[in-house]
Structure 1
């Protein structure tokens, strides 16, 4: 098993934190730095792989196209996309919860994965403020939880999970269902901002799994 250094763990924490927050709220409630093509040009080269490269290319292309709309128009477009995919009405086109992406035909967004994430957050001493009334197995919350795990390892905090435990969480939760969610998103907005974010997230998750396992 390869040991990642503190800088790598911190970079993973920051990356998951940015993506997680971007997937929890529409862009009119979050920073719009993702609309700057240069932001994606400067994305850390330490992460590599087919999914990372594809996600970055999609996000950069999106940012270039968005530039033609002006900042206000681009933010509005991204926010409408988010609402259609993750909120509705009448219902989310791509429900962002693990429970609804684990198997076909699931229409109830509160299940075993929700309880599992609730336990993990509680065990880590994390409190979900939940101002948007999200279930704990929302993709953004899972990535923010992962961000905190990586930060604790980077800082050498007592009681931080072992890297193999973090890898197990990746395998059992976000990486086990993110491709299913991405497929639903791409069916609606194949070249959209959310599709690019999910592909990038999946690529970084794969990179981390392979880096730790090698």
Structure 2
């Protein structure tokens, strides 16, 4: 399918998986490696993208500050930020669903983007366990879909989208609205953990789209 070798596809899938999972649950329910400066020092430097570089600098700086705190308090700070941004109350400051980012003033989920993502997941043989009652057009789920497609490509499985289809998904789904989501996050917590994480996600998506366009 691609000039990208299996090792690169594998790493890309792991990156999408880490970010996707980090957006689906607060850090109190996920690994806390993002608070370790060495984690960001060792982050794959395979993406030739200035936005990725800037995001990694911010995330390492955030982790260095967190390292000076009691670990439980540092995790709690990120979990509180997550709740304010993506859950509420009274409502999420930065709704993490595509439906609510496609147009201004949309305050109800489960729209056309949700149906599109349901169909995409079903076609790939994926089923949402939905233990957190999330809509399928959650940014974390869109990134986890990409993670699984990258894993399948790395493993040489036959039933994967071709470069054009995968590029269209990146462009039409996560990349089409991550700027809006980032803007809402930054307006609330520009110096927070998730502003850096979403900037990283956007940079990786932009890099990936460019790679797919060349194939």
Match of 1:82 in 2: 82
Deviates more, 1:183-192 or 1:43-52: 43-52
Q: Distance in 2 between matches of 1:57 and 1:49?
A: 13
1:48 CA drift (Å)? 2.3
1:2 CA drift (Å)? 6.4
1:46-84 Cα offsets, whole Å, 9 max, x none, are 112121011111111110111121210100000000000
Q: Distance in 2 between matches of 1:153 and 1:15?
A: 15
Match of 1:169 in 2: 169
Match of 2:139 in 1: 139
Query: Which aligned segments of 4 or more residues in structure 1 are displaced greater than 2 angstroms?
Result: none
Q: Distance in 2 between matches of 1:13 and 1:163?
A: 15
Match of 1:193 in 2: 193
Q: Is the 8 A contact 1:2 1:211 kept in 2?
A: no
1:204 CA drift (Å)? 0.4
Q: Report the RMSD for the aligned CA atoms in angstroms.
A: 1.1
Q: Is the 8 A contact 2:2 2:163 kept in 1?
A: no
Q: Distance in 2 between matches of 1:2 and 1:148?
A: 16
Q: Distance in 1 between matches of 2:92 and 2:189?
A: 13
Q: Is the 8 A contact 1:97 1:138 kept in 2?
A: yes
Match of 1:118 in 2: 118
Q: Is the 8 A contact 1:3 1:212 kept in 2?
A: no
Structure 2 unaligned regions, length at least 5:
none
- The normalised TM-score by structure 2 is 0.97
Q: Distance in 2 between matches of 1:127 and 1:13?
A: 18
Structure 1 unaligned regions, length at least 5:
none
Q: Where in structure 2 are the equivalents of 1:90-109 lying within 5 Å?
A: 90-109=90-109
Q: Where in structure 2 are the equivalents of 1:1-214 lying within 5 Å?
A: 3-214=3-214
Q: Is the 8 A contact 1:142 1:174 kept in 2?
A: yes
Count of residues in Structure 1 that have an aligned counterpart in Structure 2: 214
Q: Is the 8 A contact 1:4 1:212 kept in 2?
A: no
- The normalised TM-score by structure 1 is 0.97
1:104-159 Cα offsets, whole Å, 9 max, x none, are 11111110000000000111000100000000000000000010111111111121
